[in-house]
Amino acid sequence: MAIAIKIFIAFIHLYILWFEMFAWTTRGRKVFRNFPADLFEKTKVMAANQGLYNGFLAAGLIWTFFIQDVEWQTNVSLFFLICVAVAGIYGTFTTNKKIFFVQALPAFLAILLILVQ
């Protein structure tokens, strides 16, 4: 189950990478309706930077599937999942409450499942 959640989280962050790096001025307008329309073009570089960070989180989680040593795989998984959870909590309080359910909660579930194993 932890593997499935890690895959889900990695795909979410790959989507966020695409969304923030390549679709900020198009899809972003539909997702963030309350964000002033004139700011999408002005914040395009900032959004791309955020997307890149999300790509690194996805890459870290994907990397864990190739680590053979169980202890090392667990530690690396926990590190990246904690990073995702912290980012999700920060986003929940600073941006949108829905981020908790999309980003932080799945990370917490995966962390819990890994620790219980």
Residue 2 predicted with pLDDT over 90: no
* Burial (Cβ within 10 Å: 0-12, 13-18, ≥19) of residue 34: exposed
Q: Tell me, what's the pLDDT at 34? A: 86
Q: Which domain holds residue 98?
A: 2-116
- Per-residue model confidence as pLDDT tens digits over 26-36: 999 888 888 89
Average per-residue pLDDT for the chain: 94
Q: Please state the rounded mean pLDDT for residues 16-22.
A: 96
pLDDT digits (tens, 9 = 90+) for 22-80: 999 999 988 888 889 999 999 999 999 999 999 999 999 999 999 999 999 999 999 99
User: What is the number of domains present in the chain?
Assistant: 1
pTM above 0.85, yes or no: yes
